[in-house]
């Protein structure tokens, strides 16, 4: 990197700094509009958080305020930070949704979804499982990183294992309304043709910003494969996604990891650990309603 500046670089720097100053100004404006916060709402509403809500609402402070207030109301009743692994572990037994042990090229947390491994029928608990893992993924983001990546394997998927459209809609609403700017990209790997009909319905409920983050990848389509590999090191990418890594989901190992993270979450949010850390066989399977983009 050069230690010398070319003439005119200070002007370029000012142009780069201007959006940052405008962003800071909007964050302060939103902060003032929200008024004093306390407890978990105060912990939640960091400057980075306010920026995400502003981005989701095209930097309109009033709209961002409304969106954020709705999230705070939802969090106060749903209490996603209080969900513990033992409550949703049955959903995870088959490995239909879990946090990967690798990151993408940008250091982001990766969630792996395998909707063909659906193993439960309680839609509410499936959503709860997904919310739990969203919170867990956020907890494990590296400093300065706000987004995560999704890898979705369609092996074994069919309409019989698919979530109902209504559940998909409810799930999408939670992800879009209460986790804005958290999804960097979602790769749908080798979805069957029949999924396209389901996708057209689901996409109707999605914000265009969200749907554009969903990428369809077909093994015989070189362009789509190369796009996915621009996000992932092929040596880390599991074989079921066209990579070289052999990955086997171990529910007991993952349960132990989640029990450790539950302690970390309790410390972050400032409440005592109230759950057992038992790792006896739990089950898996959050009904997966991906955040699509084509």
Question: In this predicted structure, what is the pLDDT of residue 157?
Answer: 84
- In whole angstroms, give the CA distance from residue 256 to residue 101: 14
* Contact predicate 167/127, CB 8 Å: yes
- In whole angstroms, give the CA distance from residue 88 to residue 85: 5
Q: Report pLDDT digits (tens) over 227-282.
A: 999 999 999 999 999 999 998 999 999 999 999 999 999 999 988 644 444 333 33
What percentage of residues in the chain have a pLDDT greater than 90? 71
Question: In this predicted structure, what is the pLDDT of residue 271?
Answer: 81
What percentage of residues in the chain have a pLDDT greater than 70? 84
What domains are defined for the chain? 21-78 (1.10.8), 81-269 (3.40.525.10)
Binned at pLDDT 50, 70 and 90, residue 291 comes out as: very low
Question: In this predicted structure, what is the pLDDT of residue 117?
Answer: 93
Question: In this predicted structure, what is the pLDDT of residue 290?
Answer: 35
> Is residue 284 predicted with pLDDT exceeding 80?
no
Q: What H or E segment, with its residue span, contains residue 211?
A: helix 208-211
DSSP characters over 63-125: HHHHHHHHHHHHHHHH-GGG--HHHHGGGGTT-SEEE-SS--TT--EEEEE-GGG-----HHH
Binned at pLDDT 50, 70 and 90, residue 198 comes out as: confident
Question: In this predicted structure, what is the pLDDT of residue 251?
Answer: 97
Model pTM?
A: 0.84
Number of residues written out for the chain: 294
Binned at pLDDT 50, 70 and 90, residue 168 comes out as: confident
């Amino acid at each position: 990197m050069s230690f010398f500046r070319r003439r005119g670089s200070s002007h370029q720097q000012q142009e780069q700094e201007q959006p940052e100053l405008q962003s800071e100004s909007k964050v302060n404006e939103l902060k003032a509009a929200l008024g004093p916060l306390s407890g978990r709402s105060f912990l939640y509403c960091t400057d980075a958080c306010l920026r995400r809500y502003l981005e989701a609402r095209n930097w309109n402070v009033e709209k961002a305020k409304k969106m954020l207030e709705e999230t705070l109301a939802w969090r106060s009743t749903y209490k996603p930070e209080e969900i513990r692994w033992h409550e949703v572990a049955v959903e995870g037994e088959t490995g239909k949704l879990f946090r990967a042990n690798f990151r993408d090229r940008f250091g982001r947390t990766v969630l792996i979804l395998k909707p063909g491994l659906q193993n439960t029928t309680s839609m509410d608990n499936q959503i709860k499982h997904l919310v739990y893992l969203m919170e867990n993924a956020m907890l494990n983001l590296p400093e300065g990183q706000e987004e995560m990546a999704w890898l979705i394997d369609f092996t074994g998927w069919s309409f019989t294992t698919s979530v109902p459209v209504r559940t998909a809609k409810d799930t999408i609403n939670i992800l879009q309304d209460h986790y804005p700017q958290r999804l960097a990209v979602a790769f749908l790997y080798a979805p069957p043709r029949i999924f396209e009909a389901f996708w057209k319905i689901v996409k109707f409920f999605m914000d265009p910003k969200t749907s554009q983050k969903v990428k369809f990848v077909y093994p015989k389509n070189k362009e789509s494969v190369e796009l996915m590999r621009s996000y992932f090191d092929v040596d880390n990418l599991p074989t079921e996604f066209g990579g070289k890594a052999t990955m086997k989901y171990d529910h007991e190992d993952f349960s132990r990891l989640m029990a450790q993270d539950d302690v970390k979450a309790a410390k972050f949010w400032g409440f005592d650990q109230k759950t057992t850390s038992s790792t006896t066989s739990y089950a898996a399977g959050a009904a997966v309603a991906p955040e699509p983009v084509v």
